[in-house]
Each structure stands twice: as structure tokens, then as C-alpha cells.
Structure 1
Amino acid sequence: MRYSPSPLASVGLATAGLLLGACAPKPTPAPAPAPAASRPAGATTPAPGGAPSAQPAGGAAGGGQDPQPRAYNAVITSRAVTKSGVFKVHQVGSRLYFEIPRAELGKDYVVVTTLAGTPDEIGLRGTQGGNNVVRFERRDHRIYVREASFRDMIADTAASQRLAAELIGVTKILAALNVEAYGPDSAAVVEVTRMFTGGVPEYSALGRRAQVDAARSYIERFAAYSRNVNVTAVQSFTPQGAAPAGGGGPPGAANPNAPSTEKYTFSIAKLPEQPMMPRMHDERVGYGTVVQRDFSGATQRVETRRYISRWRLECSDRKVGNLCVPKKPITYYLDPATPAWIKPWIRKGIEAWVPAFEAAGFHQGIVAAEAPANDPDFSGEDATVSMVRWLPSATENAVGPSLKDPRTGEILDADVQTYLNVMNLTRAWYFTQVAPLDPRAQKLPFPDTLAGRLLEYVTAHEVGHTLGFPHNFKASSMYPLDSVRSKTWVAKMGHTPTLMDYSRYNYVAQPEDGIALDDLIPKVGPYDIYAVKWGYSPIAGARTPDDERRQLDQWARMQDTIPWYRFSGDAGGVDPAEQSEAVGDADAVRATALGIKNLKRVMGFLESATAWKEGDTYDNLEELYGRTVNQWATELGHVARIVGSEYRHEKVVGQVGPIWRNVEPARQKEAVQFLLDNAYVTPTWLLDENILRKVEPSGSLNRVGAAQARSLTAMLANDRLVRMVELEARASTRRDVYPVAELLTDLRRGLWKETATGAPIDAFRRRLQRVYLEQMAAKINPPTPAAGGQGGQGGGFGGQAPVSPADIRPIIKSEMRALDAQLAAAIGRTSDRMSKAHLEDARDQIKTMLDPKN
């Protein structure tokens, strides 16, 4: 998942025994294979002298002869430990064998690789690697493990189309396994030891580039179930290549580029024999997808079909009231490693979704369960077991990956990974955003009841991902700002319509609003209930995905009149209503003003809150002071996004109105003025000497200056300015736009306002003005793009295409000439020596950028 598979350097297919079979000294009679029935369609007999056999323990390859199966009991001896499931698995000494029935050849299996044990901080227990779908194909006395692809499909089954598809349908063979013996019904017995101890690059060290030492790698345990087989292996390896830039982990972590031993679980799970009927994806409603391409040419083009990711949730014949009881509820197990006091909060986070599934018609559609206490074969790494994992890591995060059937989008497995130190992250968010409203948060450490409630929120959010939902960054702008401060509204609707947004805690609320403490935290909201209904509700009478289109479209059009049902997963795009880490961004100016009020209150008790006990260090004070500055910068960023932006309302043919419309010019000018008054002035309230003298000898200039520069750089991003030029060119009247020339003039006058009065320019303002000049210089004389680069400056704003500063260069030069005249007039009336020197230097910079040759 994180790494691209790459070949091993010195452990190759032939030299390391990748053909995974013992070279028998002399064959003994074996059951004759059924030659035609067990071969996949299109199989042919390999030429004599095919790929050689190799010793299973990594010895020298054989001489190129065809494999010679032996008698069954000569391979699966009385020493064998055997477990039966979807197929039999045998362990004989250190060797592991699969016994693959004829009926399972050509069937689709997904192989899930999970990191099950690791040195400190090299990866994380429960981290999934690459998942791939494979088929076992037999040709003569070999089993080939071949990848299967479902990306390309042919709607037209005409022979000509099938032949054309075969031209692009050849998939990779991962391993060739010699048949060691044949069991009952010609079941092929193959040794797979090296497949899981370093012989297949895709299954080695999560696909990292590594040289695996077979002598220090072994099979630790295995299990077999009705749908899957699990193998846990220990792999010892030495990574190859230089260490990545920036080091390999958090402070104090082990070096991920040093020789290492790690443990992996491979779950080989059979895809459902009867695929779930997929549901078509709609851009207007947020779901993950699987993608297929249709090469039939029926519409005179290659069509892309997307199916949503969702669990197979089917009604049984039982009912509770009007709700159906599912045949198999979505079940998440609690990791046995989870601390006992945390488990109830994790359970609540899972069960928070129960009302949404009730709205979709299911009784107990999702449940939380304890892991079986005395089942040695039960494993959280099992690809058929979904679990909320508790991972001992300093990483401040939690993630919710899932495994999908590529044919239909059915979610087969999901594991929420909760890293212990996410508690530190949620504590910092809660403290900087809403501590003025919650007395429990005004002294560290938080009580367990509050820390647990924050973990409940994290769990519910990540479980949402594993139900198929991506982030919905539009949600936090869909409520009027006044509603976000209303205790009755928030009690019923939440401060954001979904907990799938990055809209953390209600920093817009003020102490006088009287909002209940639990309502400061996001919950499963109206959008979540709507999205579950849209994706999971059965549609009566529908037999194909196309039969469902009309009903799904009707539900999607509810967004036209109910704005909080709208969706966007794009936090870095053009729409200022699609933002990350925002609350109340329907009016980001007022929301940020209220947020800053709370941040000023936080600064008032920051020192006392972090004074745990006498003799302690000031580490907590330093950390939370830095987080407070960062929260200030984040909220200011929401205002900067308003300028040069366009609103988006996703629509399809038949819906009235455009998808895109301009942000009102007055709103853009208001945002610029707010930033000039709040972001681009020196924030003296953040510069508390009592705090600064306890956390650092110096550095506040860079700390605060970096936050200001972040906002200004985004404001002046090339793609924003070029977009403003285009919007102005397309406008029927200037009243519809905020001209880029006007924006630049407003910024120049505000950023250099001291030049009008001769007032001293403090160090923070001088730093900001230098950032401004550097930005202008880069637009007039852009750096030469790297080979293969696009040129231009994105500035992190997320334009639709590579941009060029050519259209804005003339107005930038004009602004610099105007500024130069402004500075020339100001120098004579500036008495402060540092300010005067700064203005003279600024003129030198302008001269250089306008005439770089001289």
C-alpha cells in the first residue's frame, strides 16, 4: 500500500528457489492429473525443459528438468501438522504446503499482507501492505500464482471483443510452484515456504526493496478457515538503497534502513463465489470506488464505470418492528491489546453508526464485539476479521483502510488502526479550540472521561472510512454561522453535518452560548445518515446496477433543497466552502474572528493549564504554545481561501443551474481587509513574555512570521491570480468580479501602511514585507523549472492545470514601480534607523527584480 513492489537484488526467481519445489532424486508413481479439466482456459503445455526446480530452503536450482511429483505420503508425512479450510494446509518441519483442490483452480483469491510484528517504530503493527487478487493456475506439474485484474472489462461479449481484450489482458505471474504430489481428486500439493519468507518480492517486507535472508526467515504459524488461509511468517532482511530524506521515523525510532527482522501475516481469502450486485457511483454523494473500463465501444469511446465501496448488507426473513435483521451484520472486534478503560469508548465509536443503519432499514446493521478469548486461530490480521486495532506508537494518527472486491466494490475486511499517541493530538486540538468552553480542559492531563470521549470521536470517524466514506470537506460550510452557535441547533444537528469532515471541535462557539459540552464534539450527523441510506438501502425490484439509477438520482437531487446533504472530497480546490480543519466556514471571516477570541482566552490560561506539578519541565507549555500559534494560522488560512475562488455545486444533466459561480467581490474584499487587520499585523497577544522566556531563548519571530508567510504565500499563489485574470476577462460587468489589479493594490497599501505615516516598522512586519517582495520577485523572474517540470508556482492552492505567470507579470511589475515610488517618498520621513534601512533595502530588491541584468 505504501510501497511499490520491486525485484529483489540477489534473491531472484531461480537462484533462491522461487520455483518452490524439491528436486526429487527419483520420482515415484503419483495420481495422474486431470489434464484438461484443471487447466485454465487457454492453457498450453510448456515446452520441455521449462523453468527449473529449486531446493525449498534456498539451495541451488535444479538442472532444468520438469517437476516429478512423488507419492502423497512421501511429501505429507506422518510428521505433518494439517489444518483444513478452503483448502488444506500442511506443515512438515519447517516447510509449508498448500493442497489446492481442482475446484479451486482459476478461482479469485485476494492476498492481504499485514505487518504483524515490528522493531520499534519501523512500520506499525496492523499496517496493511499491498493487496492483490490472484488465481492458482495449473499447467502440467506446476501451479502458477498469477495476478488477476478487473480494471478492464468488456460489456460486449462478441468474440472479436474478447480477442481484442486479450491483447491487454496478460497479467503478472508472481510465483511458479512445483507440484510435489497429488492428493485426492488430483489436488495439487505445492510447497509455499519461500513464497512467504522472501521468495516473492510482492510479499517481502511490505514490498519494500529488500534482500531477504532465507536462513533467518521462517513460518511461525498458520490457520485454515472456510473462506481463507492465514500464514504468519518472520522475515529477516537488509533494505537496499540510500536512506530516504528526512530520516525514517519519529525521534528515538529505530532506523528503518538497518538490517531488521519483521513479522507479517498473509491472509489468502477467497472472493465470494456469488459477487454482490454493485451500486453505481455518483459524484454528488461521497463513497470510495472501484473502477472498471469498458472497451466494448458501445458509446464510441472507452467508458469508465465506478462502483461504490460498501459492505454486503442483506436482509434476512426476520424483522424487529419495521427494520430487517441483516443476514450478517457489519462486525468490528475490539483489539485485545486495547487498555480496559478505553474499550467502552471504542465500542461507542463503532456503535455511533447504528442509527444511520436504522435509517437505512437495518436493525443492528453494525455491531461491536469482543475478540474470542480462547481461540488460538483468531487473528486481527485475518482478512475476514474486522478490528479496531490499538497500536503502541508515537505516531499522532489513526487510519481506516479497507479491503474491497475489485469486481463489485464489496468491502470484505476493514481494520481501524488507532495509534496510542493520537490521544496527544486530540488533546491539543480540543485544548486550543474549545478549552475556554470546557473547564475540564483547562488543566492537564484531561480526565479519562474526556480523553475517552475524544477517542470515541476518532473511532467513529475512522469506522466511517471503513464503511466506504471519504472525507466530506464541504459539510462544515453548509450550516449558517449563527446555527453553529445555537445550543438547540447543535444539540440536534451538530456543528457540522458529518463527522467525515475535518471539522474538529466547535471553536466558533463562545462561552456565553451555553452549548452542552458533549455537543462541542462532532457526531454522526444528517449527512452521514443520508449517505448511509443512499448507499445501503435496498431498492425494491432492482436486479442490475442500472435498475437503481433512477432512485439513486432522486435521492441525490435532495441536495438541491437540503444543502447539508452536499458532498466534496476536495479540500484543496477552488471552492472556499470546501476546507479542511474548518468550523462555520459558511462565513469564514466571522468564524475566524470568533475563533481568535477563543485563542486569546487560551493564551490567558496556557501556562497554568500546563503546570502539572512542581519539578516538571516546560515541555507541555512549549508544545501547546506552538499548537496555539498553528491553530491561529490554520483559521486565517480559511479566510485566504475566499479570494479568487468559485463556489461549486455538483450537478448532472437535467439539474437546473451551473456547477460553478463566482464568489461575491464584496466578500473577497472583506476577506482581504480581515487578513490585513488580523493576519498581517503583529499579534502581540501571542507574544506573551511569561511564556516565551520559558520555552525558548529566541524564535518567536520565525514562529509567528512563518504563520503569516503561510497565509500571504497562499494569497499570492499564481493559480489564484491567473484565475482572477480569467474570471475578469469572462465577466459581463466588472461588478461581478474582484479585479486582480485591485487585489494587488489593496495588499500593497495594507502591507506597507507605515510608509504613509512614517511610523516605525517592527521586526515582524519587516519579515512579512520581505516575504511579499520575495513572492513578487519569483513572479517577475520565475526560477527555471526542473527537467520535466511544469513551471509556474502553485502555492498549494490547487489549480485545475499548470499555470504561467505571463498574464500577471505586467501588473506585478506595475505594482513594484508604484511601491518603489511609495518607498522613495517614505524614506525621508522615517526617523527609525532600522525601518529606514529596511525601506532602502526594499528599493534595492525592487530594482534588481525589475532589471536583473544590472
Structure 2
Amino acid sequence: MKNWMVLFMVAALVTLVNQDACAWGKKKVENKREVVKPETPYEKLFKGKKCETAKGKFITLHKVGEKLYFELPLSYLERRMLLASTLTGASDNDLGEVGYKSNDPLHIKFTKTDSTIYMRLVNTAATYNEKEAGMRKAYERNFMDPMLKAYKIMAYTNDSAAVVIDMTEFFAKHNEMLPALPDNVGGFISVSASPNNDGFALRDIKAFDDNVSIKTDMAYKVSMSVLGMFTIRSNDPVSVRVTRTLLLLPEKKMRPRISDSRVGIFLTDKINLSTEEDQIQTYSLAHRWRLEPKDMEAYKRGELVEPIKPIVFYLDDAFPELWREPIKEGTMRWNKAFEKIGFKNVVQVLDFPKDDPDFDPDNLKYSCIRYLPSTTANAMGPSWVDPVTGEIINASVLVYNNVIKLINNWRFVQTAQIDPSVRNKKMPDEIVKESIAYVVAHEVGHCLGFMHNMAASAAYPVDSLRSATFTQQYGTTPSIMDYARFNYVAQPGDKGVRLTPPDLGVYDEFLVKWNYQPIPEAESMKEEAAILEKWVDEKAGDPRYRYGCQQVASRYDPSALEEDLGDDPMKAGEYGIRNLQYILKNMDQWITGDDDGEHKEALMESLMEQYFRYLQNVRYNIGGIYLTRVKEGTRGEKYQAVPKAVQKASLAWIIRQIRQSDWLNNRELCKKLNLQVSAAPIVQDVISGELLKSYKGVILSAHVSQDPYTLKEYFNDLYNGIWENTLKGKKLTSGDIILQTALVDMINGMVGEKTKKSSLFGLSKMASVEEMVAYGLDESGMMRKYMDILKNIEDEKGTDYVTRQIHPDAFGQGYGWQREVSVKAIDNSTTYIVALAYRIKSLLESKLSSVDSATKDHYKMLLLNLNRALKV
């Protein structure tokens, strides 16, 4: 009994111990399961993969092989951003500029519906009157934000604060919304880029507090053609590297500034929904940096204060050393104007940081001054804005290497008559620095939001430009934003005359005041606009503050031209031609060490182009109409025909110049150049064609004038001028022969049977290729490069064909160029042209028996064409 009891108790104890062990074991297993939790979709997405992560306060980027993931915080949904693509590297810089954004940044936001993230384009075309209850509904129904892309949510982060979406296709593949290459160059060269998928590779990723950047290598097969007619490249391999930046825009918006069409500021157009007027209202916002005083109270007391956020440019470390200081000087000279409105140290220039791994000149966050080793002879100053307010977010100054060649040619043909230091193949360092500073200051003006003002240089009397006192104070123009280059009016012997434009003109200082002076007393955008309008009203009628739009396609106003000086193009031209004759006479002795003659040939081309501009500047007087933005009730006229006497004198002046331009044929110099046609007949031929199309302007000019220069008078003056030596029985000059031939060709094209050239003499006011090149209207430089092809197209299609393809509606950026005015309803030119044909026919027939054999042959050829035209 006792033994049995002992055995029973032992067995029970063993059972109890075993039960406790199982229970402990189970508990241990259960605890282990709680520690090793199941993997989340977020963790599975990156498990076992080589992942490079760039983390910032904004968006986190994950690069997994060739995949790119955005980790987008939900707190940034509906926030507005700019998405920009910048060319970072290229195998062919003819197709794009490194550091440039060939397309405006996309203004986007992300939204979420269920399990999908949508990338939407923000529609900023319209605003509405918030006081009118129905306008918000109308706005929301009619101005939705269009959807660009939809992305499936791949995972939420473990804290559910952000979502992960796959952005590989958008950033690491060919994307038409973020093109790596432009679809055209210069507006007339079409570019077809077929992606080579083997050459696409995702590179660097970076993330910051308010932006992310992604670099991608891309490869294409590129074909190019001129207006679809001439193939210039076919399936050439091209590789590029691009940097895409997604930048968060500030939540607190800058107060916009409503533009004024009398002030040359870049702008963004808007419409406003309101019943305040009996129509949809249109207005524009000026482009401007957000410039606010650090200490508003000190600013109000009249003290100079620094801005909260200065305008900082980073200077490319690739620039030639000689250029660096003048670039800085030209950039920061705008601080003089800012100081006049109470700011100091506004514009700053810093070198590219050498020890900052986060710095990236192609990131939208940084504004830079970039060096482009290209044969293009140009510089640019583009900027990009927040479309809601017009706030400039980023700007770049792009300086092409061969701008130095352009400066060399300008300084020689415009100032060598008075400045011995430029009579060299290579410009002295001081001249280079002086000129580079001017070029950069002009481009920085664009970066500040300022458009070209081509009317500025017409404000100063021509003879004032020969005055040392006047030019030392005012330079050559009231605005550096004009294309008024160097002082070609100054004559040999004029002492102490300034040869360069001003550091900044009075108009430039007014631009800074209008665009950037804070107006703290104004409580709204409209109150501010009323104050600004009064500032402009006060300047109305003062030619120094007159704004003249750049006439890119249709050219009507002879006082708003590029590359001119002074208020009288005939007088300025006389001075300029005198200087060109002096320069040409001495060029061969001045320019030495040019064994192959290449530099002399380039200078000769520049001299011919300069002479062409002098003649063309006067030609614009014929049928010209002065155009001025005028507010009702202030001084000035919106449009005013060039006075009749000036038009008549201009016509006679040009014919005289064509007849007397044989001085261009410097035979000794030409022997040292490549085989080519002499300069005089080239210029005579081109300017004859320009002169004969002047009647198109005369039609409209006469129509709006109180004392018109009529078509009848124009054709009569044309007849008496072109046939003067024939009428007087004098020997014809080469200019006479070219003019007479051109006139008969025009008649044949107008009233004869249709020929290939008949379209040359339509009623278009569009610029020719010659004008586009001579006046710097083609910033790409490609029009000059393909001049021969384009002129052949003009011969086939008409003198306005090329320009019409580039600018089909004659409108452009800013307030728009003058629209081409149709004069079809009032055109009776055929009547006068037919009468002119019979008059010339009668004259030539009467002279056949009294001229030498060569002249007789010339007249017979003209009579043959006239008889064909008149069907005699």
C-alpha cells in the first residue's frame, strides 16, 4: 500500500511537470511568432534586392537596378510642383544646350483615388472673383486639372504616411512630356529622334528638403530636315544625359504683379471669371523674383536693406579665366538699380562649389551662368516661373564660346575707325572684358524678367552720339535691353566719345523700380496695380521710357529695330557708311598674321552685313508706321505713319546708295580671300529686292496717314530714281543695272504669267531670311548656317515663306508682335504697276538707238520681259 502510494505520487508529479513543460513550450513558440511578424508589402518590395535610397524631407527615391520608385508622402498630395528636364551632357551640342531646358517645366500635382495615384497638370489659365458664389462652381467645372499619368500604389510605408509608386517609365525611358531633345531647331529644322532602348540607363538620384533629381542616359537615332524639304541628317546616333528635377513650390504664394503693356516685362497670360465687365476679362502677370526686405521697418525708413532671399547665380567652373571677372561684373551691375529702390546685395555670383556633393548646376534649384563650347555666336538668358504668380523660380545665362567671335567682328566694323586697339586679329583683353560684361548684363536683364526694348536707342539724337559729354553719361541707348551695340556713329577724330552702351540706362532703372519696388501700402494686387499704372503714366511721352516690342516676323516700325542707333537712320547711316569706307580701305594693313585670310573674310562678311543694316534701317522708313503702347488720356499716338517727306527722302537715299556702293569692291583685299562674287553686287541685289517690296508698307501707311505718301507717288519716285541715268542719257552703273533688272522682274511677277518667283511680290510684311540673320532674330544660329538652302527655298516659295513657317501668326512671347495687317481690301498696286510697265517700255524703246551695244542688250532683255508681262 505504501509503495503503491509512493509510485502514484511520483507518476502524478511527472505528469504535472510534463504538462507545465508543454505549456511553457507552447508559450515560447507563441511568443516567437509575435516577434517574427509577417513581412509588409513595403518590405517585400525591396527584400533581397540591391537598393540605393536617397532620402529627404520631400520625396524619398529608391533605385533598384534599373527601376525607380517614388516614396511619396501623403501630406504632399495636392501640393503644386515644377517638373523640369535639363540637358546635362550631349554627344552633339547642335541639338541642344547643356544647362538649358528646351521645354518649360511642367506644373503638376499628385492626387489619390482609391489605390491609384494620379499625376495631374495644374490648370492655371483662369482665376475667378471669389466674391461671386457661382464663379467657383463655374471655375471648377470648366478648368479641371488634366490627368497626365496614373500609377498603381505598390505599397504603403509601414507607418502608412507615404505610398510607393513605380516611376521608371517616366524618368528612365523616352518620355514625350519630358523630351531629352527638341523637336525642332531654330523653328525651321525639324528633329525626329527615335529612342534606342539599349542606350537608356538610370544614373544618379538625389533627394533634398524640397526637391528630388534624377539623372538618366538616353540614346537616339536622329534625323533632321530643313522645312521637310532638305534632309541634313539621317539616323545619326546621338547620346544625351538629362537631369529631371521635381521641385516643391512654396505654399505661401508671392503677391502677383499685374503687367502693363507699356513696360517690357515677360509675362504669363490669364483670364478672369467675373461679372464686373460684360465679358471674360484678360490680364497678365509680370515675371519677377520674390524680393522682400529682411527688415521692412528699416526699409520704410529709407535705409538700404538686404532681401530675405537674394538672387544667386552660380558661375560655371569651365569658363575661360579671362571671362570670369567681367561676367561677375556684368551680372552684379544690376545691383546699382536695386540700390535705388532700397535693396542691397540683391544679385550675387558664387563660383561652382568644389566641396558640396549636393550641388548640381542642372538641378532646378540652382540658377547658373553656363559656358557652352559651341560655334554658335550667341548668349541667352531664359527663366522659368511659377505659373500661378509669375514668380521666377530659376534662371540661366548661357554663354556660347563663339560670342567672342561675334564681339570681335562687332567691335571691328563698328569702332575700328576711332579705336586703334581693336585693329587686330585678336581683341585686347580689356576690350574682351568690357564686351563680355555688356553681353552678360543684357542676358541677366532677361533673367530678371525684362524683355527687349528695341525702341530705346531711337530716343537719342544721332549727333549726341558724337559728343564725349553726352556719351560718357548716357552711352548709346537708354536701355541695355536694346540691341544697340557699339558706337558706329562716332567719327575718326571725335575725342573722348564712349563707344559702348551704358552700364545701365534710365529705362533699365525704371524696369527695376516697376518690377521690384515693394509697395507695402497696397493691400491687394489691384491696389498695387493702380499705383504702378501711375508710375508709367508719369513717363508717357518721354522717348527714353518708350517701350517698343521686338518685331520678329511682321516689321512695321522703323524706330523699334535691332542693331540701330539714334533717331534718324539716314544720318546715322551716313556716318556709319563713312566709317565702313575708312575701315575697308585700311583693313588689309590693320589685320596681319592672317595667312589663310579666314579672319579677313569673316570681317568682310560682317562689314557687308553692317552696310546692309544701314540701308535696311532706312528702307523701313518707306511705308513705316511708328507703333507705341499708349493708354487713353496720356501723351502719345498708338500708330503714326512716317512723315511723307521722310519716306520720299529715304527712297531717294537708298537708290543713291545702291548706285554708289562700288566702294565695297576692294580688289587688293579680295585677292587674299577665297574665290567669291564681289561684295557690291551681292549687297545691291539683296537691298534692291528689299526696296521693291516697300510698296506693301506704303499701302497701309498711306491709309492711316493724314498727309499720305501714296502708291502713285511711291511708284513715280521709284521710276525717276531707278531710271535717272537712263532718263539723262548717262552711263549706267552696276547698281543701275541690278535695280532695273529687279524692277522688271517684280513687274513680271506681279502682272505677267505666273513664274516660280511670282510669290516674291505678294503683300506680306514678313521678314526675309536676310533680315532674320542680319538683325539677330534667329537665336539658334542655324539660319546663318543653312542660309544657302533657305534662300533657295525663298526663291522657290517666296521671300516670306521661311519666316511664315517659323511664325505662322506673327505673334510671339510677351505682349505679342504686331499682327500682320491684311491690306487686300485697299490694295490697288496692280493699277500702278501696269502703268509703270508701260512707262518703262516706252522709255526703253525711245533709248535703244542712242546707247552703246552693251546697254542696248540690257534694254532689249528688259523689253522682252516687259512684253511678256504685258502680253505684247
- TM-score, with structure 2 as normaliser: 0.83
Check if 1:181 corresponds to 2:139: no
Q: Paired residue for 1:90?
A: 62
Q: Paired residue for 2:739?
A: 768
CA contact (8 A) 1:509 1:515 kept: no
Given candidates 91, 109, 123, the residue that maps to 1:149 is 123
Q: Which whole-Å CA distance do the structure 1 matches of 2:709 and 2:82 have between them?
A: 54
- Of 302-311 and 443-452, the range deviating more from structure 2: 443-452
Check if 1:80 corresponds to 2:52: yes
Check if 1:430 corresponds to 2:407: no
Amino acid of the structure 2 residue aligned with 1:533: K
Given candidates 281, 285, 294, the residue that maps to 2:259 is 281
Check if 1:681 corresponds to 2:659: yes
3-state secondary structure, aligned to 1:628? helix
Check if 1:827 corresponds to 2:848: yes
How many angstroms does 1:198 deviate by? 2.0
Judging changes above 3 Å, is the alpha-carbon distance between structure 1 residues 554 and 516 closer, same or farther for their aligned structure 2 residues? Answer: same
Q: Paired residue for 2:79?
A: 107
Amino acid of the structure 1 residue aligned with 2:668: N
CA contact (8 A) 2:548 2:628 kept: no
Given candidates 398, 403, 407, the residue that maps to 1:417 is 398
Check if 1:384 corresponds to 2:373: no
How many angstroms does 1:117 deviate by? 0.5
How many angstroms does 1:297 deviate by? 4.3
Aligned-pair RMSD on alpha carbons?
2.8
CA contact (8 A) 1:443 1:608 kept: no
- Of 589-598 and 804-813, the range deviating more from structure 2: 804-813
Given candidates 535, 538, 559, the residue that maps to 2:518 is 538
Q: Which whole-Å CA distance do the structure 2 matches of 1:824 and 1:289 have between them?
A: 60
Q: Paired residue for 2:491?
A: 510
CA contact (8 A) 1:204 1:212 kept: no
- Of 157-166 and 334-343, the range deviating more from structure 2: 157-166
Given candidates 489, 509, 527, the residue that maps to 2:507 is 527
How many angstroms does 1:460 deviate by? 0.6
CA contact (8 A) 1:96 1:192 kept: yes
Q: Paired residue for 1:128?
A: 101
Given candidates 538, 559, 562, the residue that maps to 1:577 is 559
Q: Percent of aligned positions with the same letter in both sequences?
A: 28
Q: Paired residue for 1:42?
A: none
Amino acid of the structure 2 residue aligned with 1:845: N
CA contact (8 A) 1:630 1:707 kept: no
Cα displacement string for residues 651-687 of structure 1 (whole angstroms, at most 9, x for unaligned residues)? 2122245322332222222212211222x21412210
Check if 1:726 corresponds to 2:698: no
Q: Paired residue for 1:553?
A: 533
- Of 776-785 and 501-510, the range deviating more from structure 2: 776-785
Q: Which whole-Å CA distance do the structure 2 matches of 1:620 and 1:452 have between them?
A: 21
CA contact (8 A) 2:480 2:501 kept: no
Q: Paired residue for 1:138?
A: 112
CA contact (8 A) 1:713 1:775 kept: no
Amino acid of the structure 1 residue aligned with 2:575: L
Judging changes above 3 Å, is the alpha-carbon distance between structure 1 residues 753 and 561 closer, same or farther for their aligned structure 2 residues? Answer: closer
Amino acid of the structure 1 residue aligned with 2:202: I
Amino acid of the structure 2 residue aligned with 1:238: K
Amino acid of the structure 1 residue aligned with 2:638: I
3-state secondary structure, aligned to 2:268? strand
Q: What 5-or-longer segments of structure 2 have no aligned partner? A: 1-36, 184-191, 769-817
Q: Which whole-Å CA distance do the structure 2 matches of 1:520 and 1:242 have between them?
A: 40
Q: Paired residue for 1:694?
A: 672
Judging changes above 3 Å, is the alpha-carbon distance between structure 1 residues 622 and 785 closer, same or farther for their aligned structure 2 residues? Answer: closer
Cα displacement string for residues 583-607 of structure 1 (whole angstroms, at most 9, x for unaligned residues)? 11x1111111001111111102222
Amino acid of the structure 1 residue aligned with 2:254: M
- Of 456-465 and 132-141, the range deviating more from structure 2: 132-141
Judging changes above 3 Å, is the alpha-carbon distance between structure 1 residues 213 and 76 closer, same or farther for their aligned structure 2 residues? Answer: farther
3-state secondary structure, aligned to 2:349? strand
How many angstroms does 1:157 deviate by? 6.5
Q: Which whole-Å CA distance do the structure 1 matches of 2:649 and 2:761 have between them?
A: 33
Q: Paired residue for 1:230?
A: 213
Check if 1:259 corresponds to 2:237: yes
Q: Paired residue for 2:728?
A: 757
Q: Which whole-Å CA distance do the structure 1 matches of 2:502 and 2:615 have between them?
A: 22
Given candidates 686, 702, 712, the residue that maps to 1:709 is 686
3-state secondary structure, aligned to 2:490? coil
Q: Paired residue for 1:61?
A: none
Judging changes above 3 Å, is the alpha-carbon distance between structure 1 residues 480 and 241 closer, same or farther for their aligned structure 2 residues? Answer: closer
Q: Paired residue for 2:171?
A: 196
Judging changes above 3 Å, is the alpha-carbon distance between structure 1 residues 72 and 260 closer, same or farther for their aligned structure 2 residues? Answer: same
How many angstroms does 1:783 deviate by? 5.8
Alignment of 1:115-514 (within 5 A): 115-121=87-93, 122-130=95-103, 131-156=105-130, 160-183=134-157, 184-206=159-181, 208=183, 209-239=192-222, 255=233, 257-317=235-295, 322-514=303-495
Judging changes above 3 Å, is the alpha-carbon distance between structure 1 residues 806 and 673 closer, same or farther for their aligned structure 2 residues? Answer: closer
Given candidates 539, 545, 550, the residue that maps to 1:565 is 545
How many angstroms does 1:72 deviate by? 6.2
Q: Paired residue for 2:802?
A: none
CA contact (8 A) 1:333 1:388 kept: yes
Given candidates 612, 625, 644, the residue that maps to 1:633 is 612
Q: Which whole-Å CA distance do the structure 2 matches of 1:241 and 1:493 have between them?
A: 46
3-state secondary structure, aligned to 1:579? coil
Amino acid of the structure 2 residue aligned with 1:818: R
3-state secondary structure, aligned to 1:464? helix
Amino acid of the structure 2 residue aligned with 1:525: G
3-state secondary structure, aligned to 1:324? coil
Cα displacement string for residues 718-755 of structure 1 (whole angstroms, at most 9, x for unaligned residues)? 53132144136xx3xxxx22222112111211112221
Q: Paired residue for 2:596?
A: 617
Amino acid of the structure 1 residue aligned with 2:751: I
Judging changes above 3 Å, is the alpha-carbon distance between structure 1 residues 593 and 207 closer, same or farther for their aligned structure 2 residues? Answer: closer
How many angstroms does 1:441 deviate by? 0.5
CA contact (8 A) 2:256 2:525 kept: yes
Q: Which whole-Å CA distance do the structure 1 matches of 2:682 and 2:201 have between them?
A: 54
How many angstroms does 1:286 deviate by? 0.7
- Of 149-158 and 132-141, the range deviating more from structure 2: 149-158
Check if 1:846 corresponds to 2:828: no
CA contact (8 A) 2:615 2:654 kept: yes
Q: Which whole-Å CA distance do the structure 2 matches of 1:29 and 1:154 have between them?
A: 52
Check if 1:742 corresponds to 2:713: yes
How many angstroms does 1:158 deviate by? 5.2
CA contact (8 A) 2:484 2:501 kept: no
- Of 206-215 and 106-115, the range deviating more from structure 2: 206-215
- Of 273-282 and 446-455, the range deviating more from structure 2: 446-455
Q: Which whole-Å CA distance do the structure 2 matches of 1:700 and 1:241 have between them?
A: 33
Q: Which whole-Å CA distance do the structure 2 matches of 1:198 and 1:565 have between them?
A: 50
Cα displacement string for residues 340-371 of structure 1 (whole angstroms, at most 9, x for unaligned residues)? 22110110110111111111221112111112
Q: Which whole-Å CA distance do the structure 1 matches of 2:387 and 2:325 have between them?
A: 34
Judging changes above 3 Å, is the alpha-carbon distance between structure 1 residues 199 and 782 closer, same or farther for their aligned structure 2 residues? Answer: same
How many angstroms does 1:522 deviate by? 4.2
How many angstroms does 1:713 deviate by? 2.1
Amino acid of the structure 2 residue aligned with 1:402: S
3-state secondary structure, aligned to 1:503? coil
Amino acid of the structure 1 residue aligned with 2:269: V
How many angstroms does 1:248 deviate by? 8.4
Check if 1:818 corresponds to 2:859: no
CA contact (8 A) 2:54 2:207 kept: no
Q: Which whole-Å CA distance do the structure 2 matches of 1:116 and 1:532 have between them?
A: 32
CA contact (8 A) 1:776 1:812 kept: yes
3-state secondary structure, aligned to 1:444? coil
Q: What 5-or-longer segments of structure 1 have no aligned partner? A: 1-27, 32-68, 250-254
Q: From the CA coordinates, give the structure whose radius of gyration is larger.
A: 2
CA contact (8 A) 1:665 1:737 kept: yes
How many angstroms does 1:498 deviate by? 0.7
